Structure 1
Amino acid sequence: MLQRQQMMDFFVDDYVGIQKRRVGHKVFADKVKFNYGYRCAITGISSKDFLVASHIIPWAQRKDTRLDPSNGICLSVLLDKAFDKGYITISVDYKVVISNFCETTIKIILEQYENKMIYYPKDCAPNKDFLKWHNSFVFKH
């Protein structure tokens, strides 16, 4: 998987056995977390137990972007969930945008990050087309 990623081949098909597995996801996660210096791109949290390599375009949506590190952002578990559920997004100028559809208690926590510029990764910045996709199809407007 690492060799395919290095050759810019990011396609991964579904493999079905006893249960469906995300083959190659660990390679993707390791690359994304390393790319962000093992810290959340929004909060700066650096405790590895609380970090997730979040897909901008979800794994199930496109097989050709599954391993692409520019389709990933290192986030803390709370912000990963908010990102996956569309309560936050990242604009094409790499700023955090908060949805107006957040529950009040969650919005209070998230609003401190509104308009905050994400920490820029060492390599493989988030793909702006992928961010546009997330904003159009995942983010709650």
Structure 2
Amino acid sequence: ELGAGTGAVTRRLVEAGCADSPHGLYSIEFDAVLAEVLRESFPSVKVVNGSAENLCAILGDDLPRLAAVISSLPLLSLPKPVVRKILDETESALPAGGVFVQFTYNLARSPSALGFRKMRHIGRSIVLLNVPPARVDVFEKL
């Protein structure tokens, strides 16, 4: 999980059993205070205070077993060089058929416009009951 923040998505992933999978659930959070809150709230999750720009290095030996990346990062508003690095790391980390899910709170702009090189868009949902409304886009690694 990239950009775990206060753990709203983390909680759902834990409830779905992701933390109990053989290699567990990693949550990468840039903010040190939020990372500590996540560690206290979700002891079964491997919380890393770091940048998604270093995803492959953070995962280390668990990298070959990665199945999906869930992102709540504000990719549509981050500087383009940072977004490029995060996308490159994500595409490198995922195996063929691996899934990248991006939560976005800008309904007008698609994350597809970010410039994926090795992913194809396979689905989208709009969650109007979320405040603010959320867009959930799903991509598959080619």
Tell me if TM exceeds 0.5: no
Q: Relative contact order, CA 8 A, sep 6+: which one is greater?
A: 1
Of Structure 1 and Structure 2, the greater strand share is in 2
- TM-score (norm. length: structure 1): 0.27
